[in-house]
Amino acid sequence: MTLRTREQYIESIRKMKAEAYMLGKPIPDVTKNGFTKLALRGIGSIYDLTRDERYADTLTRKDERGRVISAYCSIHRSREDLVNRVKTARLICQKTGVCTASRCCGWDALNALWHTTFEVDSRHGTGYHKRLRRYASMMQGKDLTCAGALTDPKGNRSLKPKHQPDKDMYLRVVDEDKKGIVVRGAKAMIGGAIGSHEIIVQPGTGFTEPEKEHAVSFAIPLNTDGIVQLVNMQPGGERKLEEGFDKGNVSCGSSESLVVFDDVFIPRERVFMNGEHDFATDVVTKFVLLHRAVLGGCLAGCGDVLTGAAALLAEYNGLSRQLSDRLTEMTYLSEALYAQALGAAHEGQSTPSGAWFPDSLLSNVTKTSVTRLPFEIQRIAEDIGGGMVACMPSELDLRSPRIGPLIEKYYRGGHGVTAEKRLRAARLIESMVAGPGRLGNLCMHGGGSPAAAQMGIRQLSDLENKKEMARRLADIS
């Protein structure tokens, strides 16, 4: 059994002592800092659930040797695997209420590279795929959490990489010898990096020949010399630094980091692309396909939690019946996302490498829906939540001997519901519409911008075929 417990996972991260900063100061122990502790619990939940027999079908796979491994370290080898990828996303979001991005992105990156290294080797006679297989096997055996990294800082977005005044705006190879390469640059918005063992880096966009120094991919432990993590401060993130229920979701958290590579040495066996710019677009595309489809599952899962929180507060307020239509609409929106993701997965195809990917067009369609519908879910949650979600007392008020009794009296709900229950439900809603776990945060830019997804749809819309349908029916020669 290769599956770690949550405690083993957390301890393994603590021991790494990766260099990381937050609010301008180093984080000496990620299990002590309230913010990072909560993020580790989010990822840690995956470890716990993976060992829970009820979820074995969804969360575990067998590797080629028959070992039970975490699905998060697996290659998608069938349509069913892709569908399970979506179901995993929904399940974990239902259980954590947050984006546990790192394991997801690492999973997607592993699959994208599985395919691309195979293709690069076929064309260029390189040996990347074999390396990657070894890496995957190690990752599976140790049940690692690997962050996935694409997004470069990009500087002036209207300029191409080769025209940037500072070339480091796209991560690049600055030196190379027999043993390995040296990389410089940064990757932004890396979900869950602070709770990851390794980081799998891919190009963030396509590159041309003169830009081939940027066409680089590798995996490396996050405590490697020269890697510096800056953990970002989310809206409402301050509350996570403290104990108490004002953070809304008191069980799990998320995190994002800027990960800086300050001339970091990458040994050759960890390099999966190095200058093959003609495949940079391919690996990005495969990664985002997975991500764009899967987001339908993530947002459905988080939508479920938010719907549940809204239903709870409606019940506490004695308004379950009156708000039934609105709750039904929330359910509709979450399920519409989920159904689309399932459709994209179902229509997936395998590649020569053996890895499966969801349908390109439907993945972009799902992502487009994901950038729209969750905002309506949030809107209805704020409607149901009432003015209380917009303004309410804090736990410190509730605990105060002077103020507490007033709150207990005036915030009591129907049928003996205590003020604390109502406040907890309201804070959970608040955190999902205006805090770190707000759906709008999860849905908009993961897997690329809305514009990128629309571009994908445009390219795949096959208008010529549709024009031909119209011509035939209108008898236009």
Instruction: State which residue, 100 or 317, has the beta carbon closest to a second copy.
Output: 317
48 touches a second copy by CB under 8 A? no
* Closest CB 361 distance from a second copy, rounded Å: 6
Of the residues 340, 348, 355, 356, which one makes contact with a second copy according to CB under 8 A:
340
471 touches a second copy by CB under 8 A? yes
319 touches a second copy by CB under 8 A? yes
**Distance between CA atoms of residues 357 and 115, nearest Å:** 9
379 touches a second copy by CB under 8 A? yes
182 touches a second copy by CB under 8 A? no
136 touches a second copy by CB under 8 A? no
Instruction: State which residue, 141 or 440, has the beta carbon closest to a second copy.
Output: 440
Q: Residue 12 corresponds to which tokens in the numbers above? A: 């393994």
* Closest CB 396 distance from a second copy, rounded Å: 3
Q: How many CA atoms lie within 13 A of 248 on its CB side?
A: 27
Q: At what angle do helices 34-50 and 6-16 cross, to 10 degrees?
A: 140
**Distance between CA atoms of residues 120 and 127, nearest Å:** 9
- Mask for 206-245, x = binds a second copy (CB under 8 A): ----------------------x-x-xxxxx-xx-----x
Find the binding residues for a second copy in span 80-119 (CB under 8 A): 83, 94-97
CA 259 to chain centre: 16
Of the residues 118, 327, 348, 353, which one makes contact with a second copy according to CB under 8 A:
327
396 touches a second copy by CB under 8 A? yes
Instruction: State which residue, 179 or 471, has the beta carbon closest to a second copy.
Output: 471
Cα end-to-end span (Å), the chain: 66
Measured CA to CA in angstroms, residue 173 lies from 180, 182, 230 at distances of 10, 6, 22
Instruction: State which residue, 120 or 284, has the beta carbon closest to a second copy.
Output: 284
400 touches a second copy by CB under 8 A? yes
**Distance between CA atoms of residues 467 and 324, nearest Å:** 44
* Closest CB 413 distance from a second copy, rounded Å: 7
CA 80 to chain centre: 21
CB atoms within 10 A of CB 145: 30
Of the residues 220, 250, 264, 294, which one makes contact with a second copy according to CB under 8 A:
250
CB atoms within 10 A of CB 468: 12
292 touches a second copy by CB under 8 A? no
34 touches a second copy by CB under 8 A? no
**Distance between CA atoms of residues 200 and 345, nearest Å:** 24
78 touches a second copy by CB under 8 A? no
DSSP class of 26: E
Instruction: State which residue, 35 or 279, has the beta carbon closest to a second copy.
Output: 35
67 touches a second copy by CB under 8 A? no
Instruction: State which residue, 217 or 371, has the beta carbon closest to a second copy.
Output: 371
Nearest partner of 220 among 174, 180, 276, judged by Cα:
180
Of the residues 60, 140, 196, 366, which one makes contact with a second copy according to CB under 8 A:
366
452 touches a second copy by CB under 8 A? no
Instruction: State which residue, 269 or 383, has the beta carbon closest to a second copy.
Output: 383
**Distance between CA atoms of residues 50 and 70, nearest Å:** 7
Instruction: State which residue, 271 or 306, has the beta carbon closest to a second copy.
Output: 306
Q: Where are the beta strands (DSSP E) in 142-179?
A: 146-149, 172-177
- Mask for 138-167, x = binds a second copy (CB under 8 A): -------------x-x-xxxxx------x-
Of the residues 174, 278, 346, 452, which one makes contact with a second copy according to CB under 8 A:
346
Q: Are residues 63 and 69 in contact, defined by beta-carbon separation less than 8 angstroms?
A: yes
Nearest partner of 275 among 210, 185, 188, 180, judged by Cα:
210
Q: Are residues 139 and 110 in contact, defined by beta-carbon separation less than 8 angstroms?
A: yes
Instruction: State which residue, 65 or 415, has the beta carbon closest to a second copy.
Output: 415
Q: Residue 233 corresponds to which tokens in the numbers above? A: 């401060």
Measured CA to CA in angstroms, residue 69 lies from 76, 140, 470 at distances of 13, 6, 51
